[in-house]
Amino acid sequence: MNKRKIISTILVLLFTINGLFAQDVTTVNASNNEIGDHLDLEAVASIFGDSKDLEDFEQRLNDPETQISNLDLNEDNYVDYLRVVETAENNTHLIAIQAVLGDDIYQDVATLEVEKDTNGKTSVEVVGDVYMYGPNYIVRPVYVHRPLLFSIFWRPFYRPYKSVFYWGYYPRHFHFWHPHHVHVYRKNVHVHINVRHSYVRTHIRGSRTAVRLHKKTRRNDYGKKYPNRSYSARVTGVNKANGTKIRAAGVNKANGTKKRVGGVNKVDGTKVRVAGVNKADGTKKRALAVQKPNGNKKVVRTKNKFGTKQKAKKRKGKKGTKKGNSKSGKDKRKKRN
């Protein structure tokens, strides 16, 4: 009986652990402390699917209780307020999330691109702004039920939503809070993601119309002021999980620009010597009997240690006799005599 109880207890524990891992589908797997780590796009997709309208969605984004955002772009030690601005064209709705950073200073953080196809099917993509997340950082949510928002987007006389809040003017329910360490934020945001939905990462943007609309309406005030803080600038020369820099082959400048060294012309860093190059600094030093850049040998006169040319070695004639031999000269004198 005791053995049976032990075995049954072990089985229960195994099933419990497997169940926990099966539900853990929204963990953020960032390798270092990037700006994008402070706003989980799966969390954004989750609350979007549970919102009744875009006003409710904006309120959920800035809820001090749930703290979905941990962004502090202007570094004032307070999490930035996120406003929502919508643009629509036919069956496409572009919903921009913008951080309010100062008087008429806004920065696009992410966009939600909602589009209905010819079959009446509605799709949603949450796209991280290239300044923060890099190119093609896209989350495609699959909702277990049709979001309430879908029923209002294509109503007659629908007017796109634009937040009325700005720097210094915020809703009554909102109050600022201090940003947390990224590990604390990840643990907190995981709790507020609806695990009944699923979230698919993709690198292909589905709506061309949304891309065109975003180019017209995007706010990049912070990015223009601090271009060196962009995603592309932050990851230049950083290839390790702990954020330390690792030099790529042929890259020896701090800004990541390539500078070829002598004898290095492969991407993987292996050395390939070109003909006539045998110095580490890349300067050419002609090897003896090598004068062509392709490495083909051409016999030339040798050089001594002072660099002056020595006489060429005497070549043999066709019959094997040496040209310029003194013996052949004596035979000619004997014949004359």
Has this prediction a pTM greater than 0.85? no
Q: What is the pLDDT of residues 184-211, one digit of tens each?
A: 999 999 999 999 999 999 998 889 999 9
* Rg from Cα positions in the chain: 36
Q: In b/e form, how buried is each residue of 20-35, taking b as 16+ CB within 10 angstroms?
A: eeeeeebebeeeeebb
The whole-number pLDDT of residue 260 equals: 45
Instruction: Tell me the C-alpha distance between 35 and 231, whole Å.
Output: 8
Q: What is the mean pLDDT of residues 122-133?
A: 94
Across the chain, what does the average pLDDT equal?
A: 75
Instruction: Tell me the C-alpha distance between 101 and 74, whole Å.
Output: 6
Question: pLDDT band at residue 322, thresholds of 50, 70 and 90?
Answer: very low
